[in-house]
Structure 1
Amino acid sequence: MRIIPRVLFGICLVLLAVSACSSSSALPDEKSELPTVVVTYSVLGNIVEQLVGDAATVTTLIPDGQDPHEFEPSAKDIESLNNANIVVSNGLDFEEGLEETLNNVKTAGVNVFMAGDHITVRELSEDEHDHGAFDPHLWLSPAAMLEMLPELSKAIGAAIGADLSVQLETLSAELTALDTQIQEKIGGVKCELVSGHDEMGYFADRYGCEVIGAVIPSLSTTSESSAGELADLKAEIETHGVPAIFTGLGTSPAVAEQLASELGVKAVTLSTHFLDSAATYQEFMMRMTNQIAEALG
């Protein structure tokens, strides 16, 4: 009669072990079954990551260091886009090499959120209409990102079946604080900007800066500057006494450095299109702001 309890005890131990193994083996499956959000570039991708938290897997399509203006998707990239619960892109002709693919993905039934459709877009003057009617560099203003955030939260929440209201409130407060920090930092300098290409419009409009010109006088890095345009820029820099030229993505370092050397001003490299070493969008924006303030101060 004493054998039965021992047998039952042994059976229970086996069942518990099997149950434990089953539970642990289910964890990777649960993770792989998370909904997916594909974002075109890292700056916008980090905003999405902060908004989504652990409710979805967020993938950035364009690697840091590659020009979003020129990036073209691989077959694997196209597969990722087609398998996403929602795709988040900048729009406004920013991801030029992705436009056809994004249209195809949208036609196939994938949710595609265009950030540029949900902000007050900066319209261009007549002489700026070389690359579309609107400026795509919206992420360089936290106020623009803040304006877009509620609709982004709504779209992603619906696509992945999650309530993102808590994250929305937290991120909105952080972007509001970031906007104030930038205003205070830039308010202490004479903010006249010469950039690599025409990328600083949203930043300038928001923080009271004047854009003097650009090494590449175009919204796209795929354009080039003529000798006459560089001569005009040199004259403007001399007239305004601008102490620094800010260069980066798509700008020839040799051209910018030669121009800076001829004028006796600084050539400062800014990361304006991807996070690089910055951990968050907030850190990315403050790093850029501090560089600008230091160079102009």
Structure 2
Amino acid sequence: MTKRHLALAMLASALWGMSYPLIYLALRLFSINNLIALSYLFSVALLLIILPFYGYDGESIIKGLLLSPINYVIIYLYTELSGGAGGLTALVSSSYIVPLIALDYVTNRSINTRYIISAITLLGALYLLFQGYGDSIYGALLLMVMNLIYTISLVRIGDVDIINFVLGQSLGTLMISYLVMRSLSASTLALNYLYYPLILALVGNVIPYALYAESIKRIGPVETSLTSSIETVSSLVASLPIQQLPSNPVAWILLAISILSLNIELRKGGLGYRWGLMDYHGFIRIGKEFVASNNEARNYVISINLRSVFVIGRRKII
């Protein structure tokens, strides 16, 4: 079950990474608040279509509404900085993982070696990947603090129905963006390009937020947040047609280690580590089906081919 939800967290991060090239392109046609308002309008509409068959939960909707101001600030900052943040913002905004690990230590009175390895290699990779450290420290710190507050708030709100929670958060973010858009006398909407906010509603909001919130509930905030290394890879790959960054082999190695370290299991009563891919229950389809048994020992060869492009990530700027 833990590995399954780790996979869901990775999928959420991958979807967020794929959304940033779309944001970069959409900002040529929409103002920031127009884009946010339209994408969340589509999000609310999609959720309202689903929920009559799923069931409403008023308490979860209210909790989503309460978190929507924090979500709006995060969404606005990431949208504004899409494609234009420097290395300082990338590094500092991602460092909210450090206090999360500290809080985990205070709670459990133990140090999780996997978390330490993954966090150090992720932050090291971000430092080496991106140049230009002259951007504002204030914006970077604000992003770090807002990411930390949002993640801890998700933990503290208790048991919620995820779909209803995402509806409440989307509805609140929509209302805030609409009020701001009216107060700023927004420009004319690019109605011919509504597929941008529609796609962003799916891959940037409804699906990843549902997976992210469910993963935090099941495997905790630290492990869920560390899967943002997957977001880095997916955003780089998805952004190849747009722009590229100078490659740094050491950075790619660190990024790969950050991803793989989430799948390290310490041997109890033994020495060393056991490395392996997550032992999913079920089938993996890549063109044809491969049946993997949990009782069989298998060797895996991992081939990673990374190329560098500059984009912004969802839970951090990459």
Fold shared per TM-score above 0.5: no
Instruction: Name the structure with the higher helix share.
Output: 2
Higher relative contact order (CA 8 A, sep 6+): 2
Give the greater-gyration-radius structure (CA).
Answer: 1
Superposition TM-score, scaled by structure 1 size: 0.29
